Amino acid sequence: MSEKIREDARNLRKLIREAEGVSDEVLVACARLKQAMVRARQNPQVNVDAGQRALMRLTQAESQALSLSTSLLRVHDELSKVARETMGGDGDGNTQIAPSAIGEENPALIEA
């Protein structure tokens, strides 16, 4: 196997993990924001319904971020398959992703 293929594989591995990490950070940031929003409206001087639409929009954004995370896991899984095929499965630490984590137990989810 050529050194160029190994270099590309290392770069792809680094970048997919970086993208997955950023995706996780988005989920953490959204959770912190939601917590702060709920705490802020617990102030007795704030109406109980204050920020409800913002909370609903944030929940929608969290759902989209989770979908992004799942899609990145699917990308990671596909790249691992390519690595096994291209690099001959030389046991260099290919990532094993459970089918349930990427919705492969239900093929209809993959097309979404």
Task: Kindly write down the DSSP assignment for every residue of 66-108, as one continuous string.
Answer: HHHHHHHHHHHHHHHHHHHHHTT---S-PPP--GGGTTTTSHH
Q: Does the predicted TM-score (pTM) go above 0.95?
A: no
Q: What value does the mean pLDDT take over residues 65-77? A: 95
Q: Which of 36-40, 54-58, 70-74, 81-85 has the lowest mean pLDDT?
A: 81-85
| Annotated domain spans of the chain | 3-110
Under the banding of pLDDT at 50, 70 and 90, the label for residue 94 is low
pLDDT over threshold 60, residue 107: no
